[in-house]
Amino acid sequence: MNRKVIVTCALTGAGDTTGKSEHVPVTPEQIADNAVAAARAGASVVHIHVRDIETGRGSRDVALYREVVRLVRESDVDPVINLTAGMGGDLVLDPGQPTKQLPGTDLVSGLERLAHVEELRPEICTIDCGSLNFGEGSQVYISTPDMLREGAERIRDLGVKPEMEIFDTGNLWFANIMVEEGLIAPPPLYQLCMGIPYGAPANAGLLQAMVNMLPEGAQWTSFAIGRDQLPWVAQSVLLGGHVRVGLEDNLYLSKGVKATNAQLTERAIQIIHDLGSSVATPDEAREILQLEKKA
């Protein structure tokens, strides 16, 4: 069981959720306001995507990241900033002509996915540790071993902590290989992502098996999407991990009750306290993860 728990709030993601809840932030100001509110509610880490202001769709625009990070850093709170580096891996194929790319494709190199990380130097950025059939239809997320090694090496050289996103057991296998090869600075940080079609299902036995595969000294977080998000807080803590909540993964506080990021953070902290554990402050999270605090 984990007695000192890092709480990450994943603020907005890139999914088609803006029409499903008025609380999903879109503009840089809204995303930064949500980050500040989550931090005031007790979040140790804020995980940031940005969205196109006109369409609400996920974006890789460095200027949008720059503005969100500026606003958070100039606020009266100091959460650990975790920027996604997963955008730019989407490939949508025509099933009848699989060499033809369809609208929705946004596929760039592993290094191009790090443009905002290069400029802004967050304390943490994500790296998605494998390719995945992403839900129904013909969308595939592409993250090859060559892309991953190249990206991990650059992230290491920038002094940023990679949060290795694990969507299935093969992803975990390869993440462990990168740790063995010295591409990941200690302690390695894993995010075990459960319930995303078609990766690892939100199954407690499978989570335990994945935890058993982690190398000695690893730090890890796990989350599950939708209605499993809040129960997964307890599941992760009981198995020795940290937790993630937020509107990227779940829009509801309870059945039919739409949540805010601050409310989800507060509920997670309540669950952690009910289990007899405490929540890490941002500086305690920095110490646990051995982060280099950015100016």
What was the pLDDT predicted at 294?
Answer: 62
Strand pairing class (252-254; 257-258): antiparallel
What was the pLDDT predicted at 295?
Answer: 57
- At 245, phi and psi to the nearest 5? -135, 180
What was the pLDDT predicted at 293?
Answer: 64
What was the pLDDT predicted at 292?
Answer: 76
Give pLDDT < 50 ranges for the chain. none
Q: How far apart are CA 28 and CA 50, in angstroms?
A: 7
Q: What is the CATH number of domain 4-289?
A: 3.20.20.70
Element (H, E) at 226: none
Global pTM reads 0.96
Q: How far apart are CA 71 and CA 91, in angstroms?
A: 32
pLDDT tens for 264-275 read 999 999 999 999
Q: Where are the domains of the chain?
A: 4-289
What was the pLDDT predicted at 102?
Answer: 94
Provide the CA 167 distance to its chain's centre, in angstroms: 11
Q: How far apart are CA 164 and CA 176, in angstroms?
A: 10
Q: Which residue has the tokens 């499993």?
A: 228
Spell out a b/e string for 180-214, using b for 16 or more CB atoms within 10 Å of the CB, else e. Answer: eeebbbebbbbbbbbbbeebbebeeeebeebbeeb
Record the tokens describing residue 277, joined without a space: 């554990």
